[in-house]
């Protein structure tokens, strides 16, 4: 009996010791997920360091404006981004919505600013119908030019001749322009392109182009227009030469830029227009009749302290002007 009582007492003591041990552990146990004593490092836009130029303009990663535009002004959009974020910044824009689509994005309030040629009558009407007033701020000079193959002996063209070709398809042979006895193939652009907007504004007075041209000879890209005009008579991809030369149109500075990249200018001839050859100087001083401009366009209801207005200030200032010239474009102050 004494042995049994002794065993029971030992068991009770062991249980008491275990209980004390557990309670002590509970009092000193550390939390599984300790509370942080420091704030986390800034994430997203807060972590981005802007350039001195951006700081001076009050532009931050949070208020950087939504910018779009035409294919021909993509280099300016990219230059603005680099000027504000730095040369080594990543994620800068690589595509443009094109002229007319970007105008529509601006009218709908989906972007803050676009860099484009002047709007066509159709776009201006769309803005009016939407109750939107557009502001145009000139940032660079440009010129609509007419081109043909370098092998074509034709040297010039007139407003009357171009209108006759594209409105009524009334000239079909280069001999009527003082050139060779070859078929004249008039290439045109799609309706939402910047060069087509300029063609509508400066040449066609917003009249419909002849359907025989629109249905058979439309080119959807600026680069494609250059290639079509340069090589159409050689048969293009088919490689079957034809007794023809193509006529097309593009923007002066775009051709200069593409020539530096691809050498396409060696295969093209720029035609004089009404006796004036388009050069950077003739376009800058508006001596060339088809000189026009690129604009930074915003909605007039944009607040005065919006960052898009600050970008326009930069574009029209000394640094912006130098940047535009370094891109091979023609500054408005040249």
What are 73's two structure tokens? 């002004």
In terms of domains, do 286 and 320 share one? no
In terms of domains, do 117 and 168 share one? no
Given the DSSP bridges, would you call strands 113-117 and 67-69 parallel, antiparallel or unpaired?
parallel
Q: What are residue 333's phi and psi, to 5 degrees?
A: -100, 5
In terms of domains, do 72 and 164 share one? no
The low-confidence residues of the chain, meaning pLDDT below 70, are 1-47, 236-238, 333-334
Q: Evaluate whether residue 184 is within a structural domain.
A: yes
Q: Hey, is 52 helix, strand or coil? A: helix
**Distance between CA atoms of 168 and 175, rounded to whole angstroms?**
18
In terms of domains, do 175 and 259 share one? yes
What's the CATH code of the domain at 311?
3.40.190.10
In terms of domains, do 118 and 56 share one? yes
6-62 pLDDT per residue, tens:
433 334 443 343 333 333 333 322 222 222 222 223 334 556 789 999 999 999 999
Looking at residue 56, what is its pLDDT? 97
Q: Evaluate whether residue 173 is within a structural domain.
A: yes
Q: Evaluate whether residue 18 is within a structural domain.
A: no
For residue 199, which of 225, 227, 181 has the smallest C-alpha distance?
A: 225
62-97 pLDDT per residue, tens:
999 999 999 999 999 999 999 999 988 888 889 999
Looking at residue 334, what is its pLDDT? 55
In terms of domains, do 151 and 287 share one? yes
Q: Evaluate whether residue 2 is within a structural domain.
A: no
Looking at residue 47, what is its pLDDT? 60
CA 265 to chain centre: 22
58: left (phi over 0), alpha (psi -120 to 50) or beta: left
In terms of domains, do 118 and 158 share one? no
Q: Evaluate whether residue 36 is within a structural domain.
A: no
User: Domain containing 182: what range?
Assistant: 144-291
Q: Evaluate whether residue 80 is within a structural domain.
A: yes
Q: Evaluate whether residue 31 is within a structural domain.
A: no
In terms of domains, do 180 and 259 share one? yes
Q: Evaluate whether residue 30 is within a structural domain.
A: no
Q: How many domains does the chain fold into?
A: 2
What are 16's two structure tokens? 């008491």
In terms of domains, do 271 and 160 share one? yes
Contact partners, residue 55, CB within 8 Å, separation at least 6 = none
């Amino acid at each position: 009996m004494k042995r049994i009582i002794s065993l029971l007492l030992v068991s009770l003591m062991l249980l008491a010791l275990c209980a004390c041990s557990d309670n002590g552990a509970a009092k000193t146990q550390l939390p599984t997920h300790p509370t942080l004593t420091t704030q986390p490092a800034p994430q997203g836009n807060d972590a981005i360091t802007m350039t001195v130029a951006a700081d001076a303009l009050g532009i931050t990663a949070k208020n950087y404006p939504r910018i779009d535009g035409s294919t021909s002004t993509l280099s300016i959009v990219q230059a603005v981004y680099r000027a504000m974020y730095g040369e080594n910044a990543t994620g800068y824009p690589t595509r443009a919505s094109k002229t007319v689509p970007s105008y529509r994005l601006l009218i709908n309030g989906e972007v803050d600013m676009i860099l484009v040629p002047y709007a066509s009558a159709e776009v201006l009407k769309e803005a009016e119908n939407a109750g939107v007033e557009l502001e145009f701020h000139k940032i660079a000079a440009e010129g609509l030019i007419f081109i043909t193959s370098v092998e074509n002996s034709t040297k010039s063209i007139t407003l009357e001749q171009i209108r006759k070709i594209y409105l009524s398809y009334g000239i079909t042979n280069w001999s009527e322009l003082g050139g060779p006895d070859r078929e004249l193939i008039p290439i045109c652009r799609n309706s939402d392109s910047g060069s087509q907007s300029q063609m509508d504004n400066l040449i066609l007075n917003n009249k419909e182009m002849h359907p025989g041209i629109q249905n058979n000879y439309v080119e959807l890209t600026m680069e494609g227009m250059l290639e079509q005009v340069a090589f159409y008579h050689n048969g293009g991809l088919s490689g079957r030469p034809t007794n023809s030369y193509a006529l097309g149109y593009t923007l002066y500075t775009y051709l200069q830029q593409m020539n530096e990249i691809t050498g396409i200018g060696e295969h093209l001839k720029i035609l004089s227009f009404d006796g004036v050859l388009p050069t950077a100087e003739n376009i800058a001083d508006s001596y060339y009749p088809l000189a026009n401009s690129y604009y930074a366009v915003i909605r007039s209801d944009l607040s005065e302290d919006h960052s898009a207005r600050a970008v326009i200030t930069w574009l029209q200032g000394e640094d912006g002007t130098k940047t535009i010239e370094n891109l091979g474009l023609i500054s408005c102050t040249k």
